[in-house]
Amino acid sequence: MTNPIARVIGVSASAAALGLAMVGPGRAQTADIILLHGRILTLDERSSVREAMAVSEGRIAALGRSTEIMELAGRKTRVVDLRGRTVIPGLIDSHIHAIRAALSYSVEVNWIGSSSLEEALGRTREAARTAKPGDWLIVAGGWTPEQFREKRRPTQSELAAAAGEHPAYVQLFYGWALMTPAAFKALNIATDADVGPRGRLEEDADGKKTGGISGDTATITALFSRLPSPSFEQRVAGTRAFFRELNRLALTGVVDPGGFGMAPRDYQALFKLWQDKALTVRVVYTVFAQKRGSELEDYRNLTQLLPMGMGDEMLRFNGIGENVAWGMYNNDNPSEADKAQFYEIAKWAAERRMSLNMHWHNDRSVGQLLDIFERVDRESPIKGLRWAIAHLNDASAATLERMKALGVGWAMQDAMYFDGERFQKEKGAEAARRAPPLKTALRIGVNVGAGTDAHRVASYNPFVALRWMLDGKTVAGTLLRGPEEAPTREEALRMYTLGSAWFARDEDKRGSLVVGKLADLAVLSKDYMKAPLEDVGRIESLLTMVGGKIVYAAGPYAGFEESARR
């Protein structure tokens, strides 16, 4: 991108010849931070790799060779010696329930990334040791038996042994939960009738209850909502800690699609951190329909004081979704009335130049959604509004062509990493070979954003997702996706940066490292471009910067971290 206010000021002739430029006429003539001796993957149009960078007033002021960039150093400039390390633009997850995950992060036990059931239960045992009497031990998701050496779920007696006196709850995706006897007692659950219309208390061959509860998404969501909810202070602490955890993994931005049960009060911890200038991840968020039947009325009310784009570079309102209307959510056979209602809402959003993203799973039924998008587009053009479809792992080329023609983007996640074997069993090996069709999407030119859908159904770790994008292997090691749908390392990284920024209408402000853009970046523990594939999933950030501020630093850079302003 070209920055209209970029000027060459106080830069040596040789530096000027290299295209070095300082941002902000007449102001900062020296850089705030300088990064030297690295491999900076800029993701500019020519895929340039630069050695050094200067950051000034939160933006990238110059890129070039170390000796030239050093000329921009002043007395107060902080200098980071990269020692050959790789720097990437800050990663952006284009579909993560980050606001919700953050609320309970300080009071949950995290099984994400654990390689054995024994290790996972050990985390619960550890949490039990430090928890206050009566505190719940909650695992809200983000794990699958496939990741464990034991390849199975925990039993109630194992969980109870780890949790001790504490009531404990473990959720697997949105279909199953395990609770200890203390938890059953605390929630007064004794029969199927106590777990909603479609919940079932599982029994073993002898008719003895196992502690497992199975049900559909609504049942498990309702069950989860009966757990004690964190206090406001715990929510603020959780949000702070979760965003720091994302920074540890090189994330500097999220596109948040709301979620079941996310009431306006559930956004207050986020807003508090924003007001305190303590956010360390840029958040754009959409409103998710909470009540069946009053979707449009609710959007109308909520957006009277919240117009599209309201906010700033750290936090911004980004439209509606991922549940736009209940009638078409996870419904492959919507009625005419469902479609008419969706059309009315979509038209309303288009007329207000609002972004819209919709959750959809099956290619065989997505035409009904696209029919509505096309109809709206004829009446009120949606190109440029950054409408999107999330998931759609079996997208056909024809569907992607229709999306491209409408300017509709694809928010793609690593669901197959966790759930690939089940998908293969249901749809066959041929379908699994192209799920999701990343190369086809690139060839067609539809905008693809990468992400995880964390944390109830997946891990939020972007490097696990990047590795899976490259090699197509599930958490259990099964090779599913074919090489014909495998992107290059740079293509995958572009999806996780510029591709995701597109959904926030921000690709000209972040997602690549060019002069004038926001200084959002991460210094990696390993070279993403050259590390063996199996190591890509283990990469972490050693230093993460958001808008020129060092929000996370570890190892050799630990001394650089600026504690968040309160």
Residue number, nearest CB to Zn ion: 359
Stretch that binds Zn ion, among 65-73, 150-158, 338-346, 357-365 (CB under 5 A): 357-365
Q: Which stretch binds Zn ion (CB under 5 A): 63-71, 283-291, 359-367, 511-519?
A: 359-367
Q: Which stretch binds Zn ion (CB under 5 A): 216-224, 341-349, 355-363, 557-565?
A: 355-363
> How many residues touch Zn ion (CB under 5 A)?
2
Q: Minimum CB separation from Zn ion for residue 238, in Å? A: 22
Q: Which residues contact 221 (CB under 8 A, 6 or more apart)?
A: 174, 260, 261
256: left (phi over 0), alpha (psi -120 to 50) or beta: beta
Q: Which is nearer to Zn ion, 330 or 488 (CB)?
A: 330
Report 266-295 residues binding Zn ion (CB under 5 A).
none
Q: What is the Rg, in whole angstroms, of the alpha carbon atoms belonging to the chain?
A: 24
Q: What angle do CA 566, 23, 77 make, to 5 degrees?
A: 55
**Nearer to Zn ion (CB atom), residue 299 or residue 329:** 329
Query: Would you say 154 and 121 are in contact if contact means Cβ atoms under 8 Å apart?
Result: yes
At closest approach, how far in Å is the CB of 322 from Zn ion? 5
100 in contact with Zn ion (CB under 5 A): no
Closest CB to Zn ion among 359 and 494? 359
Minimum CB separation of residue 426 from Zn ion in Å reads 18
Task: Name residues whose C-beta falls within 8 Å of residue 369's C-beta, 6 or more positions apart in sequence.
Answer: 328, 342, 358, 360, 389
* CA gap 528, 540 in Å, rounded: 10
The distance of closest approach from Cβ of residue 342 to Zn ion in the complex, given in angstroms and rounded to an integer, is: 16
Cβ-based nearer residue to Zn ion, 66 or 331: 331
Least gap, CB of 467 to Zn ion (angstroms): 22
Question: How many of the other CB atoms lie within 10 Å of CB of 292?
Answer: 11
- At its nearest, how many Å lie between Zn ion and the CB of residue 158? 31
Nearer to Zn ion, 68 or 322 (CB): 322
Nearest CA to 87 out of 28, 39, 20 is that of: 39
CA distances from 287 to 145, 176, 308, 319 (A): 32, 27, 11, 6
Shortest reach from residue 329's CB to Zn ion, in Å: 9
Tokens matching residue 47: 């895929």
Question: Does 467 sit near Zn ion (CB under 5 A)?
Answer: no
The residue among 248 and 359 lying less far from Zn ion, judged by its C-beta, is 359
Question: Considering the rule CB under 5 A, would residue 455 count as an interface residue with Zn ion?
Answer: no
CB of 148 to Zn ion, least distance (A): 25
- By C-beta, is 217 or 396 nearer to Zn ion? 217
DSSP character at residue 207: S
Nearer to Zn ion, 322 or 363 (CB): 322
Cβ-based nearer residue to Zn ion, 121 or 416:
416
Residue 279: which residues within 8 A CB-CB, separation 6 or more?
A: 243, 270, 273, 314, 315
Q: At what angle do helices 336-351 and 363-379 cross, to 10 degrees?
A: 50
248 lines the binding site for Zn ion (CB under 5 A): no
Parallel, antiparallel or unpaired: strands 315-320 and 33-36: unpaired
Q: How far is the CB of 350 from Zn ion (least distance, A)?
A: 21
| Chain residues 310-329 in contact with Zn ion, contact rule CB under 5 A | 322
Show Cβ contacts of residue 460 under 8 Å, excluding neighbours closer than 6 positions.
Answer: 93, 96, 98, 101, 112, 142, 245, 246, 249, 251, 452, 454
359 lines the binding site for Zn ion (CB under 5 A) = yes
Distance of CA 268 to the CA centre of its chain: 20
Q: Which residues bind Zn ion (CB under 5 A)?
A: 322, 359
